[in-house]
Amino acid sequence: MSDVIRINRAPVLTLWAAVVAERLGFDRDEALTLGRAVAGLNAYSKGVSLGLYKPTPEAERERRHKRAKGEVLQVDLLHRAVPSVQTHEGLRALSKDQPISPSSVDRYLQGKFGDRLDDAKKAMERLARSWPGEELSSQAYALYEKFRPTIPAGIRGWGAAGNLDLNRVASLAKQTGGASSDLHR
């Protein structure tokens, strides 16, 4: 079986952010929702920069900010402030002011990765485990930039599939004995 998976970036970022969140101590369901929210926030930002979406109007941002006081938590993950709320089932990231369902994220990842989901998840888990938690927290997005699928620049790359190379993911793992990966190569 090939070590390359043809896939677009959003599910790769969703899975990676979920793996990182789990490594940082969130339970699986919490991590899945946080991962999905990170990917959604990134996609929205990219869409705005490409002119596909209009920036959120100031009045809407203010309404969300007022609601956030005391009700919504901000969880920092991959340098994103992820709006989240505590539910009776645990912490859940929000999308359009609603808690994200962990089972919907599971279905999404299964649909995008198919029978390669376990391979990709295991490779990412090995990478995440090779980094101390605090260092992983600060370097997780830089690591993602090193292994994310390559796609065309600009609007041509929007939603395009690229190659996720699991060997590349493995190569970014820190070696035991204190050696560290160079993220700036």
Q: What local confidence, expressed as pLDDT, does residue 70 receive?
A: 43
Strand bridging mode 98-99 / 161-165: unpaired
**Cα–Cα–Cα angle for 27, 130, 11, rounded to 5 degrees:** 55
Distances 182 to 16, 130, 138, 143, 175 between C-alpha atoms, Å: 19, 14, 14, 10, 11
Residues 100 and 37: their CA atoms lie apart, in Å, by 8
Taking the chain (185 residues) in runs of 10, the rounded mean pLDDT of each run is 89 97 97 95 53 57 53 88 93 93 98 98 97 92 94 69 94 61 42
Placement of tokens 């204190």 in the chain = 178
Q: Residue 84 and residue 34: Cα distance in Å, rounded?
A: 8
- Cα of 102 vs its chain's centroid, Å: 14
Among residues 2, 127, 26, the alpha carbon closest in space to that of 82 is found at: 26
- pLDDT value, residue 110: 98
Using CA atoms, how far residue 41 sits from 4, 89, 95, 116, 172, in Å, is: 26, 23, 9, 25, 25
